[in-house]
Amino acid sequence: MSAAASNVLLERYFFAPVGAGSFAAGSPSVAEGRAGSRKRGVAVQLQCQLQGQKIKAARFLAWGCPHSIAAASWLTEKLTGLSLDEASGVGAMQIAAALKVPADRLGSILVLEDALAACLENARSRRHVW
């Protein structure tokens, strides 16, 4: 319903987002990262369910522009099956390119990148406990 409507991937991940939701909180195998705020116009929560070094599954919650929601969804799909090291190689530019995010929306993607970083950081810090 805007000029962006011709972006097929954007529409798919926005209207039928995979990975939407969250895992039961407090599980030791779930790492979580948050970034953004209402004031910034974007807020993302990313969770990864770990199996050893691997991301078995990922979930997101997002509040923000359509690109931020779609990108968060796309990211959960992307992360699934990656090792933590591989996951930390996924950056804002790759996400933006995949979803054809316009330049003026890169800010939202950077917030998403922050959430991923926080989540991976959280995952690594948890590994000590196991």
The footprint of another protein (CB under 8 A) covers 1-5, 14-15, 17, 20, 34, 37-39, 41-45, 61-66, 69, 104
Q: Which residues touch 105 (CB under 8 Å, ≥6 apart)?
A: 65, 67, 68
Least distance CB 124 / another protein (angstroms): 22
Q: Which residues touch 86 (CB under 8 Å, ≥6 apart)?
A: none
Q: Kindly tell me which of 14 and 74 has the beta carbon lying closer to another protein.
A: 14
Q: How far is CA 28 from the centre of its chain?
A: 20
DSSP H/E element including 124: helix 106-127
Q: Kindly tell me which of 16 and 129 has the beta carbon lying closer to another protein.
A: 16
Least distance CB 27 / another protein (angstroms): 17
Least distance CB 41 / another protein (angstroms): 7
